[in-house]
Chain A
Amino acid sequence: MSLIETEGLSLFYGNFQALKTISLNIESCRITALIGPSGCGKSTFLRCLNRMNDLIDGVRITGRVAIGGRDIYRRETDLLDLRRRVGMVFQRPNPFPLSVEDNVLFGLKVHGQTDRKILEEKLQRSLEAVHLWDELKDRLKTNALELTGEQQQRLCIARLAALEPEILLMDEPCSALDPIATEKIEALMFELRKRFTIVIVTHNMQQAARVSEETGYFLLGELIEFGETSRIFSAPRDQRTEDYITGRYG
């Protein structure tokens, strides 16, 4: 059984079908990349996995999404717990306008953790996990908006790590960063995949090739091809995939 399984997943924004019967399995403790031109439904797919699409007016979903073998669109799903288990890193670094510390501990606090000792320990461990502890341990009270873009994105990852989710969804996490920062975040992802299952959306094919073990290619709401990254990039089975990775698309 795979950690994430979708079966015939379709999503409509009103009358517009953004996902067309997507079926794929994502294994645990791996990095899976979703690539494809923009506007083809990658973010939409990602947002199905933590049900963030519920927040959009007029969205209709059919098909099945199971995480750990359980359908997350069942009526009795605990949304708060689902989102704790399936964390999301967004395109733009988006720390709250709060202190570094309050950012990292936000998730724990909303989930009811009040023990000062545990909070302090989690704060340190989460910041260590993203290699921010040494840089920021004397600035835990500074406003997170004063950090650099890369630090902010790391902080956002630390904010998730504090909750120890099973799955990290990353929606173009490096597209607002410069190449050096990108490289560092990629290195971080590599380390983190031992602890989390990572699904990353990227429009940067080199990045997909560098960091992921499995790759899916989205085109106009369809999943064209899915498989081992090295195979997809060396011997794509579908002509459309080949066109895209060789840069002949569009």
Chain B
Amino acid sequence: MRVPPRLEQRFVKVVLWSMTAITVFVLLFIVAYILRRGLPVLSLSFLTENPHEMGRTGGIFSTIVGTLALTAMALAVATPLGVGTAIFLNEYTWESRVTRIIRFGADCLAGIPSIIFGLFGFILFVIKMGFGWSILSGGLTLAFMILPTIIRTSEEALRSVPRSYREVSLSLGSTKWQMVTRVILPSALPGIVTGVILSVGRSIGETAAVIFTAGSALRLPTSLFSSSRTMSVHFYILAREGISMPNAYGTAAVLVLSILLVNIVTYRLMHRFIRKYS
């Protein structure tokens, strides 16, 4: 028996509409819930004071610094590595089995749960290389975690640069490196930046990989070898140990807002990128 097309049309519409509504609702619910509980705690002193009594009182300043330091460290390592790899794969080699294996490897890396990265970073950086729980160990671990994203988005951005730019540049007698730096990278930059910012979002929110490698010290970090607690780790510990739920929510609110901000920036950049090249 056939369903009348009109009815089917209606039915599909309702189903799809409800799915979208559920998605949006869940999202808004989470954000609203966290903000409703967290915003009342937020104040200038919450942002600028260090935590006291394990975080029961005081603010979250040192964890903000820790988060920024770890993210900066991760980016400083992963951006050149990732963009370099993407340039190599896209500009300096022919498609071959090797490039496919590298790409496949990057994709697999992207799928590994972050706690495994944490364990790996703990064994390699904290123990074997003797960096201890530190911004260095945590940053390097995060770097490996975001590397695949940066490689893939950079490759995508490089691939969207018209072939003709490459041909013209070389036909004018430029070297390959001149071609890359003067023609390709400027055109691909917005796409690459988008990938980097997406990774910032990921690093800011990461907990499992960081708690094993950067530790959870509440002092303000003073060097790359200081152990430091990030906002997400701070939230985790405050909530799990039941130290202070209001402060946990306050931290969560700051986290959510910063990630929201990062995503808005990414979204705008992407938008500009798409407009420019379509």
**Chain A residue with the shortest CB-CB distance to B171:** A88
Contact A80 B174 (CB under 8 A): yes
Chain A residues whose CB sits within 8 angstroms of the CB of B182 once the complex forms? 106, 109-110
Which of A50, A57, A96 makes the CB contact (< 8 A) with B171?
A: A50
State whether the Cβ of A97 lies closer than 8 Å to any Cβ in chain B.
yes
**Chain A residue with the shortest CB-CB distance to B165:** A96
Chain A residues whose CB sits within 8 angstroms of the CB of B167 once the complex forms? 52, 55, 90, 94
Residues 157-189 of A, flagged 1 when their CB comes within 8 A of B and 0 if not, give 001100100000000000000000000000000
- How far apart sit A145 and B93, CA to CA, in the bound complex (Å)? 30
Residues 59-95 of B, flagged 1 when their CB comes within 8 A of A and 0 if not, give 0000000000000000000000000000000000011
What total of A-B pairs shows CB separation below 8 Å? 60
State whether the Cβ of B7 lies closer than 8 Å to any Cβ in chain A.
no
Which of A57, A83, A92, A96 makes the CB contact (< 8 A) with B173?
A: A83
State whether the Cβ of A216 lies closer than 8 Å to any Cβ in chain B.
no
Contact B173 A84 (CB under 8 A): yes
Given contacts A57-B94, A97-B187, A106-B182, contact A111 B173 (CB under 8 A): yes
Chain B residues whose CB sits within 8 angstroms of the CB of A111 once the complex forms? 173
State whether the Cβ of A81 lies closer than 8 Å to any Cβ in chain B.
yes
Q: Nearest Cβ distance between residue A83 and chain B, in whole angstroms?
A: 4
Chain B residues whose CB sits within 8 angstroms of the CB of A87 once the complex forms? 171-172
Main secondary structure of the interface of B (DSSP, over half): helix
- How far apart sit A55 and B94, CA to CA, in the bound complex (Å)? 10
Which of B165, B170, B178, B187 makes the CB contact (< 8 A) with A94?
A: B165
- Most chain A CB within 10 A, of B164, B165, B187, is at B164
Chain A residues whose CB sits within 8 angstroms of the CB of B186 once the complex forms? 97
State whether the Cβ of A107 lies closer than 8 Å to any Cβ in chain B.
yes
Residues 151-172 of B, flagged 1 when their CB comes within 8 A of A and 0 if not, give 0000000000010111111111
- How far apart sit A107 and B170, CA to CA, in the bound complex (Å)? 10
Question: Interface size bucket, B side?
Answer: 20 to 34
Contact B164 A94 (CB under 8 A): yes
- How far apart sit A81 and B165, CA to CA, in the bound complex (Å)? 19
Main secondary structure of the interface of A (DSSP, over half): helix
Q: Nearest Cβ distance between residue A126 and chain B, in whole angstroms?
A: 13
Given contacts A80-B175, A110-B178, contact A92 B164 (CB under 8 A): yes
Which of B164, B165, B172, B175 makes the CB contact (< 8 A) with A107?
A: B172
State whether the Cβ of B183 lies closer than 8 Å to any Cβ in chain A.
yes
Question: Interface size bucket, A side?
Answer: 20 to 34
- How far apart sit A8 and B124, CA to CA, in the bound complex (Å)? 60
Given contacts A97-B187, A110-B182, contact A159 B170 (CB under 8 A): no
Q: Nearest Cβ distance between residue A71 and chain B, in whole angstroms?
A: 19
Contact B94 A159 (CB under 8 A): no
Contact A160 B173 (CB under 8 A): no
Q: Nearest Cβ distance between residue A180 and chain B, in whole angstroms?
A: 24
Given contacts A57-B94, A106-B182, A110-B182, contact A96 B174 (CB under 8 A): no
Which of A82, A90, A110, A159 makes the CB contact (< 8 A) with B175?
A: A110
- How far apart sit A94 and B170, CA to CA, in the bound complex (Å)? 13
Chain B residues whose CB sits within 8 angstroms of the CB of A109 once the complex forms? 182
Interface residues of B in 126-176 (CB under 8 A from A): 162, 164-175
| Known contacts A55-B170, A94-B165, A94-B168, then 14 further A-B pairs from the complex at CB < 8 Å, ordered by chain A residue | A55-B167, A79-B173, A84-B172, A87-B172, A90-B164, A94-B162, A106-B182, A107-B174, A109-B182, A110-B169, A110-B182, A111-B173, A159-B172, A163-B173
In the A-B complex, the 7 residue pairs with the closest CB atoms: A83-B173, A84-B173, A110-B174, A107-B172, A94-B164, A80-B173, A88-B171
Which residues in B have some Cβ–Cβ distance to A below 8 Å? Answer: 94-95, 162, 164-175, 178, 182-183, 186-187
Supply 30 A–B pairs (Cβ within 8 Å), ascending by A.
A50-B171, A52-B170, A52-B171, A55-B167, A55-B170, A57-B94, A79-B173, A80-B173, A83-B171, A83-B173, A84-B173, A87-B172, A90-B167, A92-B164, A94-B162, A94-B165, A94-B168, A96-B169, A97-B187, A106-B169, A106-B182, A107-B172, A107-B173, A107-B174, A109-B182, A110-B174, A110-B178, A111-B173, A159-B172, A163-B173
